[in-house]
């Protein structure tokens, strides 16, 4: 073929590409028209403009369709997330729910007009010349949900008070919300004692006030004799309550604005313990903001460090080495794990700065959990020049942790789990078991928790044989709807109690984002099963917890896809991910699945995360489990997970692949794990 013919072929291919691109544009326009129709219908029935659960399901389906055409999963996720975000924007604009400050902003607050949240909201946005519409909410959680559902552009939440300290409920909600901090304001709170017309302090027998107001005005309240203090959900609502009761012996602690709003008398103003009584409010929105160059900014993060001496000091030293000034450090017990602490940190700078990005990247390698809550302009900091190169760009809090640098760029779509990001191997510690350490970790237990007697007998065997972790299925995703589906939360209670009885941490599977909190309360490790490896909403949900995650390889998934799935968990902040090879589906039918032992050394070369092997699900036959387990140890697995049962022939789930107790003891001996080896911290 001559050069002229080659040129004609290239030109024709380019014409064909232009035709395909034109069709894509036409289809995007058609999709936008459907989004506008959807906005009309949602407006007619007053539905939220955003459905995050459907969005994740839609993207998961597109990934599956893309795999049928040999398309890269990372590309599909990136393209469709952009399409979905644009669709939401189109709907919000059509419904008038967009965050356009030129026309006004809709803000969700806890409480009603006249509350301190309302006053702080007016002060913050009023200073920007923005018209504010308020959506009232009964609780902080409801205010956050109004933003997530698209009913409001932002919410204003109290974080801390100079008298009563941190508002812990808000800290916990921010961590789980998936929203971004976009601003803060220090609001001077001036508490007043209000009463109906004709009331007096001497006649007060009952006072309604918010819990925080009780703490902030404790000295004044102590001077009142024979007066009952009734905790109320909101300061302004307490004013409305006494207005409705119209009883001169009942008062309320609220603002002067509430007094004007409900035509009440201010019986005494300035009753807080301290005259300088300030509450710091934060502004929270769905999307991060770009901070103009030269504007002083703060960043808020949450982190959890390893449970060892000096771990917190080592983490804080990273900020010092990066010449970044810390302005706040607050500790909170981890939910469901009160022996360990979360640390909320505020520091100067924003995530678009190279120095901040470098510090966060280094910090990510050292901590167990890290989440950026947001970067935002701060009036508390003095103006200073930003050290940015012309080509630097604004990035949001999530991108700051996952943006590849030139030296660690990985084309496969994962960075945080790569050796380029962290060269040393991660060790995940759970109740004395160290996944990724020098010793092989053995996980054992039944496929499903069936009864108290069964799980107690199994836990005793697991402990006595020398294994480190007790497994047991409580929620069973079965291929057939007629198969045993597990005991659910009842089984989880049994598993957790058996683990405590015999000093063993426990691992069980979680099936949906809605179940994550409930399972995390009881299980020391959260397992993501093979069918859910690409359930992106579930991966994100476990990524927001502080429990280690055992992520099983999908039955038809590549190792790149496994690592990309792990990246979803890591990018949400949870660095405690354990990968599990459990066999993949091939044309071979002599075993249940084909155990890919080559995956262990390949993964160990690509990722710093620990790798365990599940030979039970690969084999499908108990006689094949021991040799496969020995082979897994030989290729360098950090752990092995096997199924055992007191009487496998009567097991309600996967009996043929479950080992008898005597077979399990023989396997432990072959692996060189001595019996009665106790693990500390169980």
Asked if residues 675 and 665 have their Cβ atoms less than 8 Å apart, the reply is yes
CA distance 321 to 332: 25
Phi/psi for 669 (5° steps) reads: -65, -40
Query: Which two three-digit tokens encode residue 301?
Result: 């993060």
Rounded to an integer, what distance in angstroms lies between the CA atom of residue 544 and that of residue 342? 13
DSSP result, 433-497: EEETSSSPEEEEE-SS---HHHHHHHHHHHHHHT-SEEE--SS---SSTTS----THHHHHHHHH
Tokens of 225: 């004799």
Angle (CA) 264-162-110 rounded to 5° is: 50
List the one residue out of 53, 52, 46, 79 whose CA is nearest residue 65.
79
Q: How far apart are CA 500 and CA 682, in angstroms?
A: 7
What's the half-sphere exposure (Cβ side, CA atoms, 13 Å) at 462?
34
d(CA 274, CA 188): 11
Distance CA 469, CA 508 (A): 11
What three-state secondary structure class fits 111? strand
3-state secondary structure of 109: strand
- From the list 279, 458, 530, 545, the catalytic residue is 279
Residue 272's alpha-carbon distances to 118, 148, 213, in angstroms, are 19, 35, 8
Close Cβ partners of 682 (under 8 Å, ≥ 6 residues apart) = 431, 432, 499, 502, 503, 504, 505
Cβ atoms of 539 and 503 within 8 Å: the answer is no
Neighbouring CB atoms inside 10 A of 203's CB total: 14
- In eight-state DSSP terms, residue 28 is H
Q: Which residues contact 379 (CB under 8 A, 6 or more apart)?
A: 185
Q: Is 581 exposed, middle or buried (CB count within 10 Å of its CB: 0-12, 13-18, 19+)? A: buried
Q: Which of 187, 220, 281, 502 is catalytic?
A: 281
163 is catalytic: no
DSSP state of 145: H
For tokens 């760009």, the residue is 393
Contact between residue 190 and residue 270 where contact means Cβ atoms under 8 Å apart: yes
Contact 637, 613 (CB under 8 A): yes
Active site residue 594: no
Record the tokens describing residue 657, joined without a space.
């692949």
CA-based torsion, 414, 416, 420, 423: positive or negative: negative
For the record, the structure tokens of 273 come out as 């313990």
Output helix, strand, coil percentages for the chain, rounded to the nearest 5: 40, 20, 40
Backbone angles phi, psi at 234, to 5 degrees: -160, 145
The answer to whether the Cα torsion of 475, 443, 644, 531 is positive or negative is positive
Q: Is 224 helix (H, G, I), strand (E, B) or coil?
A: coil
- CB contact set of 106 (below 8 Å; sequence gap of 6+): 97, 132, 133, 134, 135, 151, 152, 153, 154
- What residues act catalytically? 279, 281
């Amino acid at each position: 073929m001559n050069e002229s013919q080659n040129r004609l072929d290239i030109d024709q291919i380019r014409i064909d590409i232009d035709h395909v691109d034109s069709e894509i544009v036409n289809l995007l326009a058609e999709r936008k028209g459907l989004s506008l129709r959807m906005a009309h219908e949602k407006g007619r029935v007053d539905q939220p403009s955003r459905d995050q659960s459907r969005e994740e399901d839609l993207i998961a389906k597109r990934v599956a369709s893309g795999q049928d055409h040999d398309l890269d999963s990372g590309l599909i996720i990136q393209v469709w997330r952009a399409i979905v975000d644009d669709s939401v924007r189109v709907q919000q604009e059509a419904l008038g729910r967009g965050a356009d400050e030129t026309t006004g902003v809709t803000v969700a607050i806890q409480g009603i007009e006249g509350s301190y949240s309302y006053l702080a909201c007016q002060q913050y946005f009023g200073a920007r010349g923005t018209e504010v519409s308020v959506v009232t909410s009964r609780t902080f959680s409801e205010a956050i949900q109004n933003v997530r559902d698209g009913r409001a552009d932002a919410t204003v939440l109290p974080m801390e008070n100079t008298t009563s300290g941190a508002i812990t409920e808000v800290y916990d909600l921010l961590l789980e919300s998936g929203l971004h901090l976009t601003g803060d304001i220090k609001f001077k709170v001036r508490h007043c004692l209000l009463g109906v017309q004709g009331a007096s302090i001497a006649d007060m027998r009952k006072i309604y006030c918010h819990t925080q107001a009780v703490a902030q005005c404790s000295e004044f309240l102590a001077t009142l004799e024979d007066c009952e203090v009734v905790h109320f959900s909101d300061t302004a609502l307490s004013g409305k309550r006494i207005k409705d009761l119209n009883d001169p012996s009942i008062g309320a602690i609220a603002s002067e604005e509430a007094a004007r709003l409900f035509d009440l008398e201010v019986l005494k103003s300035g009753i807080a313990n301290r005259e300088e009584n300030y509450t710091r409010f934060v502004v929270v929105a769905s999307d991060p903001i770009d901070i103009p160059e030269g504007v002083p900014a703060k960043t808020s993060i949450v982190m959890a460090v390893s449970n060892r001496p000096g771990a917190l000091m080592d983490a804080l030293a990273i900020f010092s080495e990066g010449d970044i000034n810390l302005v706040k450090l607050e500790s909170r017990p981890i939910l469901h794990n009160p022996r360990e602490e979360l640390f909320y940190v505020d520091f100067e700078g924003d995530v678009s700065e190279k120095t901040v990005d470098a510090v966060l990247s280094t910090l990510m390698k050292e901590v167990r959990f890290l989440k950026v809550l947001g970067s935002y302009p701060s009036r508390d900091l003095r103006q200073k020049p930003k050290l940015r190169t012309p080509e630097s760009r604004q990035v949001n809090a999530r991108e700051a942790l996952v943006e590849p640098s030139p030296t660690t760029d990985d084309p496969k779509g994962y960075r945080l789990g790569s050796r380029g990001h962290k060269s040393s191997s991660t060790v995940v510690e759970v109740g004395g078991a160290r996944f990724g350490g020098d010793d092989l970790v053995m996980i054992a237990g039944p496929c499903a928790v069936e009864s108290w007697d069964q799980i107690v007998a199994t836990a005793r065997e697991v402990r006595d044989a020398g294994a480190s972790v007790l497994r047991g299925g409580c929620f069973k995703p079965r291929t057939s709807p007629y198969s045993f589906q597990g005991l659910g939360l009842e089984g989880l209670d049994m598993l957790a109690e058996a683990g405590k009885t015999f000093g063993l941490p426990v691992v069980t599977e979680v099936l949906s984002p809605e179940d994550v909190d409930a399972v995390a309360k009881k299980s020391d490790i959260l397992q993501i099963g093979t069918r859910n490896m690409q359930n992106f909403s579930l991966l994100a949900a476990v990524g927001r917890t502080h429990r280690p995650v055992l992520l099983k390889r999908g039955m038809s998934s590549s190792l790149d896809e496994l690592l990309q799935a792990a990246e979803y968990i890591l990018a949400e902040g949870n660095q405690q991910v354990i990968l599990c090879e459990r066999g993949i589906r091939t044309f071979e039918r002599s075993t249940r699945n084909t155990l890919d032992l080559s995956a262990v050394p390949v993964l160990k070369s690509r990722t710093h995360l620990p790798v365990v092997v599940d030979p039970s699900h690969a084999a499908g036959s108990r006689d094949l489990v021991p040799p496969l387990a020995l082979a897994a140890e030989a290729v360098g697995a950090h752990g092995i997970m096997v199924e055992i049962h007191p009487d496998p022939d009567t097991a309600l789930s996967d009996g043929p692949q479950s080992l008898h107790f005597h077979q399990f003891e023989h396997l432990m001996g072959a692996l060189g794990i001595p019996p009665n080896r106790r693990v500390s911290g169980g």
